[in-house]
Amino acid sequence: MKADALRGHLDALLLAVLDGEPRHGYAIIEALQERSGGSLTLPTGTVYPALRRLERAGYVESAWSTVGGRERRTYRLTSAGRKVLAEERSAWQEFTTTIGAVLLPPPATA
């Protein structure tokens, strides 16, 4: 998938993979990859700055934890993040419906 296609959608994608359970950074990257069928392979240099931006905005919060002897920062959605995610999902649905109406071929007529 082209990087340009993600522009403007990265925050919503990150919020979506945090919906339901907290995850550490690498688990977020893995979830994006898995849920996209391997199409989304984002570098840490893209994901971590976006997570910090979302944290500054109050949409996610993080805490340090030790897993298997390793320190990891785990991120989770805040109530503000859940609200923004709901708005992003609604906007995405409207966008895909509108663009689909133009790009998809019209139904065949009998």
pLDDT in tens, 72-81: 999 999 999 9
What lies within 8 Å, CB to CB, of 23 at 6+ separation is 17, 31, 74, 75
The whole-model pTM stands at: 0.86
For 83-98, how does the pLDDT look when each residue is reduced to its tens digit (9 = 90+)? 999 999 999 999 999 9
Record the tokens describing residue 12, joined without a space: 């919503």
State which fold the 3-100 domain adopts.
Arc Repressor Mutant, subunit A (1.10.10)
